[in-house]
Amino acid sequence: MARSSIRKSPTLDIDGLLDKFESFLQKKTLKLTSQRRQILEKILEMDKTHFTADDLVDQFRDQRPRVSKATVYRSLSVMVEAGIVEEHQFGDSHKVYELSEGRQHHDHLICTACSKIFEFFNADMEKLQDKVAASHGFHATHHSQKIFGICADCWAKGNR
Ligand SMILES: [Zn+2]
Ligand SMILES: [Zn+2]
């Protein structure tokens, strides 16, 4: 069954993440600016496993000096490139991010009524996907399984 949320691994260390981010930035001749560092720290602090770029912008609402929306958006895409953050397209223009470092592979159930996201891992399904790929002589590198529908709460409330 779906687990509503797999929490970030408690052993996830911010220093390791910052090191990884910094060495990626160096390769791009970019710097780990204090803003980029703060953005990564906010992602770790956030109690949302899956977040939108605007959720992240909200984290800086009361902060002075302000971290601009453009900076947050740009930093997010650099983090995706660096492999620290994963980007998911969950429906039309509904882009969701999550920390990929230190997390186990999982797939998603997406409620089209309330946008809630549930994570699941199913070993049989994983095996079946490998089998399908192999039967096409296809060498799968990764996958993202998305199941859209109505969550139990919305269903009970009649929200379709
Ligand atoms: Zn729902
Ligand atoms: Zn997830």
Q: Is there a contact between 105 and 121 (Cβ–Cβ < 8 Å)? A: yes
Is the pLDDT assigned to residue 1 strictly greater than 50?
no
Span 112-130, mean pLDDT? 94
Residues 61, 18 share a domain: yes
- Which ligand does the CA of 8 lie closest to? 2
Is the pLDDT assigned to residue 58 strictly greater than 60?
yes
Is the pLDDT assigned to residue 133 strictly greater than 90?
yes
> Residue 95 Cα, ligand 1 centroid: separation in angstroms?
17
Q: What is the CATH number of the domain that holds 48?
A: 1.10.10.10
- Which ligand does the CA of 156 lie closest to? 1
Residue 123 sits in which domain range?
104-160
Per-residue model confidence as pLDDT tens digits over 18-38: 999 999 999 999 999 999 999
Q: What is the CATH number of the domain that holds 130?
A: 3.30.1490.190
- The answer to whether residue 22 is domain-embedded is yes
Q: What's the pLDDT score for residue 70? A: 93
Span 3-12, mean pLDDT? 52
Residues 81, 46 share a domain: yes
Is the pLDDT assigned to residue 7 strictly greater than 60?
no
Residues 149, 77 share a domain: no
Residues 112, 79 share a domain: no
List, in order, residues 6 or more apart from 106 with CB less than 8 Å away: 6, 119, 120, 121
> Residue 80 Cα, ligand 2 centroid: separation in angstroms?
14
> Residue 48 Cα, ligand 2 centroid: separation in angstroms?
10
Please give the Cα distance from 152 to 84 (Å, whole number).
32
- The answer to whether residue 5 is domain-embedded is no
**Domain boundary residue, one of 103, 124, 147:** 103
Q: Is there a contact between 53 and 97 (Cβ–Cβ < 8 Å)? A: yes
